Every structure is written in structure tokens, then in C-alpha cells.
Amino acid sequence: MIQITDLTKSYGKFKILDKLNLTIDAGQVYGLLGKNGAGKTTLINLILDLIEKDSGSIQVFDTDHRQLEKSAKRRIGVVNEDLALIEEISGYEFLSFVGKIYKIPSETLKKRINDLFAYFFEDPADLKKNIAKYSTGMKKKIAFCAAVIHTPDLLVLDEPFSGLDPFVANQMITFLKKYHRNDRAILISSHDLSYVEKVSTHIGVLDNHQLVFNSTLGNFTENGANELDAALLGLLKPNESEIEKIDWV
């Protein structure tokens, strides 16, 4: 589904990604982990062709990501950092708008919107509220609904769980587990390790402009011998000696 070869990206003097290689195949739920500023969002924006790469290649559905046709773009579902929500209209109208872009037949669209709302939103009145009045969590939920409404083959989710309460985050995980199929791939960038662990089949860890780990979840946790956060901390090695210097706390 996604094949990245020698991808390099800098912002001025600051190198973000350096000759990064990554392959995500159908059937994988790929959890992308890393510190703040490691380049997770940059990598996702590069895949989505929102920012320009310096060098390397990104193939999506075996096609250069810049040359994707409309039909191929329609096979991708996205929750990116901006959420891309039109705040002037209601949640229902936004999903209708997205559904029309994807040319989903109106009866199917109506059913999908109603099903998604029934699952994710407790109060049916939320349907009619303008998105500008939504809380952060509600905005995340509606962005997620817009990402899956056309049942894409590739789902790219940038921090989908941030701002969600544990109940809704678990709802989303349950949905993703149901959504996961052998002919679909999901890429999730997240800080919420416990959630990533529940849904991912593969893990990638970004650090020092590179993927320092890229394998199955089982390999990452040594088949459950380690907790995910312990495995991650072992890999990223936070500088704990610095805490000794803070003697004023």
C-alpha cells in the first residue's frame, strides 16, 4: 500500500527525516511512535503530499504519491493534524459534504452517517450543531467519521486518540478492529501507547531522522515479555542523568 524509499526532508538547516525507508502492506495496522518533533506528522504530511520532499520516493498503491488519480485518492481516508473540518456547518452537513466528494449514493450515505453518529455520539442533537461549537473530542470524532465514511483501503490517522476520553478512545479502537481487514492498511501516529498496543499489528519508531525500529508488535514487545512503553523507553533511552541536576524541586 505504501512504499517509502530513501525519503529525506529538512526544514532549512533542520533535518527531519534522513533516507527513511518504510513499507506498509495490506492487512497491517502500523503504529508509528516517536518523541515530540521526531517527524511523525511530517512523514504523514509527506505521504499525503501536503508538503514537498527533498529526495527519495513515496509510492502509494504502487504509484508515485504526487501522481495519484482522483480514484486512487478516494481510496485513502485521512485524519490529519488540521482535521480539515468545516466549522461553519453542522456535523451532519459536513459528513454529507464529504460523502458527496466521494460520490457515495445518497441512501448509503444517509445510512452510514446515521450509523456512525449512533455509535460515536450520545446526543442526537450533536448532529445539528455547527462544528464550531464542538469540543476537541467531538471534532476528533467527526474527523474520524469523515475518514472512514467511504470505507477506504488505506487509513492514515495522525494522533487520532489525543483529546479523547478513554471511553471514546476505546470506541474508536473497537471500530478500527472491526474495520481492519486483510485488504486494508491503517497507519496510526500516536503518543497513546496503550491504545496503539490494542490495535497495531506492526510498530515503527522514529528517532534521529530514521526508523530505529520497524517490525511486528510481537517483536517489539518480545512477544509480550515487555510492556510497550518499557520497550519504547528502552529504545529511545531518555537522558535520566539530567534529572539529577535539578536539585531545586
The minimum distance between CB 68 and another protein, in angstroms, equals 7
Nearer to another protein among residue 86 and residue 236 (C-beta): 86
Q: Is 179 in the site for another protein (CB under 8 A)?
A: no
Cell (9 digits) for 238:
531518555
Cell (9 digits) for 210:
530514521
Which of 148, 184, 143 has the alpha carbon at shortest distance from 160?
Answer: 143
Q: Tell which one of 6, 25, 87, 227 touches another protein (CB under 8 A).
A: 87
Q: Is 96 in the site for another protein (CB under 8 A)?
A: yes
Q: Is 212 in the site for another protein (CB under 8 A)?
A: no
Subset of 10-69 contacting another protein (CB under 8 A): 48-52, 66, 68
Q: How far apart are CA 166 and CA 13, in angstroms?
A: 39
Q: Is 106 in the site for another protein (CB under 8 A)?
A: yes
Q: Is 109 in the site for another protein (CB under 8 A)?
A: yes
| 141 and 94 Cβ atoms separated by less than 8 Å | no
Q: Tell which one of 30, 92, 120, 161 touches another protein (CB under 8 A).
A: 92
Q: Is 139 in the site for another protein (CB under 8 A)?
A: no
- Only one of the segments 29-37, 94-102, 161-169, 174-182 lies at the binding site for another protein (rule: CB under 8 A); that segment is 94-102
Q: Is 101 in the site for another protein (CB under 8 A)?
A: yes
Interface ranges with another protein (CB under 8 A): 48-52, 66, 68, 70, 73-74, 76, 78, 80, 82, 84-90, 92-93, 96-102, 106, 109-110, 113, 127-128, 130, 132
